[in-house]
Structure 1
Amino acid sequence: MSFTFLNELPSPAEIKQNYPLSDKLKALKKERDAAISAVITGADSRFLVIIGPCSADNEDSVCDYVSRLTSIQEDVADKLILIPRVYTNKPRTTGEGYKGIASQPDPEKAPDMIEGLIAMRKMHIRAIEESGLTCADEMLYPENWGYVEDLLSYVAIGARSVEDQQHRLTVSGFDVASGMKNPTSGDFSVMLNSVYAAQHPHHFVYRGYEVETTGNPLTHVVLRGAVSKHGNTTQNYHYEDLIRLCEMYQEMDLVNPAAVVDVNHSNSGKKFKEQIRIVKEVMHNRQVSSDIEHMVKGVMIESYIEEGNQKIGDHIYGKSITDPCLGWEDSRDLIYTIADMCR
């Protein structure tokens, strides 16, 4: 037999019971969820800025980063809603290397799934407690949703997961804003079909149960660029790309047509400093086209305390051990620039 069963994992209910969210924070999340939902539906004209480390690899530095956003959120509250990225699952293209705190709470030690689930939940709760901001995470493993479903205000489905039926069906049961990234091929039709699937009700098997979902009307697209068959990165944040997406949205039976632009990954060619220029171009395109303005609801930025990245084991506080990120000063200035460019 090729599987070796190591440990039976505690259920989401058991983890939640041991690491509960307080009534005060439940109320905060409800308020934040409603505000973010209103942006996606068009009831609120504010702009979403989903910002934070490529991978949430260290609780202290991640929570330090998230708390730095609190005073900025107060300054820009009339224009922006900041959603910290606390990404606890880090997919690697080949499956090798660090897989995120949910699987490997200490990047220098062997995976420990039980401790990882606990570390994931503890970090999210601490981030909310210390910042007053509920966060975003990427759902790499659908079966892990129950461990954090009461904590997150935004969920992203990655480029390598968006074509997977289990991810699409699971999102159809969410009640928070959920962004479906375009696949690495860049195919808009695949991305929009994923949104269609998630917006509609389904009947399927989930965590050993037969379940039904009602559909998630807050599901939308995330543009992250693409990779050609020759291995070259191609961008999809330009004016022509956004207009094409507007037109494709109009041709489909989808509610709340919305897009978030991921300004790193293939859109920047992983040249993290390019995120500043790309954000400004996206904001300019919103200014010159009412169609783009109404559709593009936010940007996604990879940012940490120290710019760039480092190797595992270098131990530079607040510096990414995965993809390179913008540093704090550039990130802070960029948030204020976004606010200034909002109407």
Structure 2
Amino acid sequence: MGMKINAQLPLPADLKAEYPLSENIVKIKERRDREIRDIFTGRSDKFVVIVGPCSADNEDSVCEYVNRLAEVNEKVSDRLMIIPRIYTNKPRTTGEGYKGMLHQPEPDQAPDLLAGIIAIRKMHTRAIEESGLTAADEMLYPENRSYLDDILSYEAIGARSVENQQHRLTASGMDIPVGMKNPTSGDFAVMLNSVVAAQSSHTFIYRGMDVTTNGNDLAHVILRGGVDKYGTCIPNYHYEDLVRLLESYQQRDLKNPAAIVDANHSNSNKQFREQIRIVSEVLHSRNYNPELKKLVKGVMIESYLEEGCQKIDENRVYGKSITDPCLGWEDTERLIYKIAEEC
């Protein structure tokens, strides 16, 4: 084969034993998982805000950001469910570029997967210990999620992965909400077919084992916009898009219909400040239509300590994205308070 083995990675159980969760963290996760489940099943009318960096590139800056979120959360927790985005592996359209902390715990150094899986577990654990908030991550590689499956309270499956069979089947074995993004084409049918698959039971090979899943009743959709055949962004957060999604859900026998609107990516054409306007429009649509208010459970926002983005070089700014551009903290804080008032 045209590959070489760099290292034998530890089994997830062994890594968890070496870096265990405290009893306090276990209790925090249990409580937050119950609260999040109540939102997606309709027992709670809290609005979900999944917010944080495009990529979690530095433990100190990520934890500082999450600690700031925790302070805001104390003021809005009666209305909102804030879930920090701590995304540790990143899809790359061409396969080139920074692939996340899982690959490169130091962005300007060579990949080191063993150091990476240790780094992401330590960062997620520290974030919970300091803030009391459990986080969201992206399931870019199904075989890797076992290193974090006792930590995360939400997972997303990206636009490039949502048609992949292994992602869909693995999602069916999760016990937390999993958001299935629309593919880059914007096709709603593909996205909803992924939810059908994730909500169903399957028998398949997972990490060398023959497994059968229960089906995930909290699988739902994430609208992130699409692109046409010319590469032009086509947003799908407008009122008409949400009504179309509602009708598509009504045509299918799915449990707990729910949608999260990703305000960045192809919805904003990566014009990061547009996220403020897009979130406002989504809130208006929810308040105008009671059925949409039940369906649209939250928004996803890309945000960091400093706005914009930067290259990976020796002059990097602390807390500024090295992948897609993000809102800065001041705009984010104002936006969260606005969401709490209007949701």
Q: How high is the TM-score relative to the length of structure 2?
A: 0.99
Aligned positions of 1:131-146 closer than 5 A = 131-146=131-146
Counterpart Cα distance in 2 of 1:244 and 1:108: 44
Residue 148 of structure 1 pairs with residue 152 of structure 2? no
Deviations 1:203-238 (A, max 9, x none): 000000000100000000000000100110000000
Shift, 1:330, TM fit: 0.1
Deviations 1:149-170 (A, max 9, x none): 0000000000000000000000
Whether 1:38 and 2:41 are equivalent positions in the alignment is no
Task: Map 1:308-319; keep pairs closer than 5 Å.
Answer: 308-313=308-313, 314-319=315-320
Trace 1:2-41 onto structure 2 (pairs within 5 A).
2-41=2-41
Structure 2 CA distance, aligned partners of 1:304 and 1:274? Answer: 15
The one-letter code matched in structure 2 to 1:128 is I
- Report the Cα distance in structure 2 between the residues aligned to 1:100 and 1:52, rounded to whole angstroms: 14
Runs of 5+ consecutive residues of structure 2 not aligned to the other structure: none
Task: Flag structure 1 segments of 5+ consecutive residues without an equivalent.
Answer: none
The aligned residue for residue 49 of structure 2 is: 49
Aligned residues: 342
2:157 maps to which residue? 157
**Matching residue's letter, 2:94:** T
CA offset digits 1:127-150 (Å, max 9, x no partner): 001110000000000001110000
> How many Å separate the matches in 2 of 1:79 and 1:334?
14
Which residue of 1 is the match for residue 95 of structure 2?
A: 95
- 1: CA distance between counterparts of 2:322 and 2:83? 21
Residues 48-80 of structure 1: per-residue CA shift (max 9 Å, x gap): 000000000000000000000112111011110
Is 1:293 the counterpart of 2:290? The answer is: no
1:168 maps onto 2:168 in alignment: yes
Measure the CA separation in 2 of the matches of 1:120 and 1:25: 16
Residue 321 of structure 2 corresponds to which residue in structure 1?
320
Q: How does 1:60-79 map to 2 (within 5 A)?
A: 60-79=60-79
Offset at 1:315?
A: 1.8
Output the CA distance in 2 between the equivalents of 1:45 and 1:117: 35
CA distance in 1, matches of 2:48, 2:153: 12
SS, match of residue 300 in structure 1: strand
Provide the rounded CA distance (Å) in 1 between the counterparts of 2:73 and 2:199.
30
Q: 5 Å matches for 1:225-304?
A: 225-304=225-304
1:191 aligns with 2:191: yes
Are 1:335 and 2:336 counterparts?
yes
1: CA distance, partners of 2:340 / 2:62: 24
Q: Which runs of 4+ in 1 moved over 6 A?
A: none
Aligned-partner SS, 1:66 = helix
CA distance in 2 between partners of 1:28 and 1:332 (Å): 24
Pairwise CA distance, 1:37 = 0.8
Aligned-residue RMSD, C-alpha: 0.5
Offset, 1:4: 1.1
